[in-house]
Amino acid sequence: MADEKSIPPAGSTAYQRGPHDDSVTPVDLKVKIKEQRLIIDWRDGGRTEFALGELRRVCPCASCRTEREQEKPNPLKILKSDPTGVHVVSAKLVGNYAIQFDWSDGHNTGIFDFRFLRALRATT
């Protein structure tokens, strides 16, 4: 489908380097562009779903983290990267450990490590 991109699972040999943790090893990733959703099926049988806008609000890149940290002292400050109305236009794997999104406003420096994504859902 044009509005759904299935990203092949990362190679199993790459995940076997160092300590192996099935809970953070995806077997299937789907970026549903039309619905703006990310669905991850994990090797341990778990499934995680995110609204992509939710991920933009927690973007782990240095610029976004700095803006969020500066936001706390002044809750009325409008962030330059306010994700309202911003959407994902494409996605790609980064090595065998993360996914990176291209956003409609040109932002693309956030690399969402699979461990981060699994931990994020556990805390929300």
What CATH number corresponds to the domain at position 28? 3.30.2020.30
Which tokens is 100 given?
């990176």
Q: Assess whether pLDDT exceeds 90 at residue 72.
A: no
- Which among 89, 4, 13, 7 is positioned nearest to 41, based on CA atoms? 7
Which tens digit of pLDDT belongs to each residue from 79-123? Answer: 555 557 899 999 999 998 999 999 999 999 999 999 999 998 765
Q: How many domains does the chain have?
A: 1
| Domain around 21 | 4-123
Which tens digit of pLDDT belongs to each residue from 1-29? Answer: 445 555 544 433 333 334 557 788 999 99
- Split at pLDDT 50, 70, 90, the class of 35 is very high
- The sheet carrying 98-103 orders its strands as 88-94, 98-103, 111-113
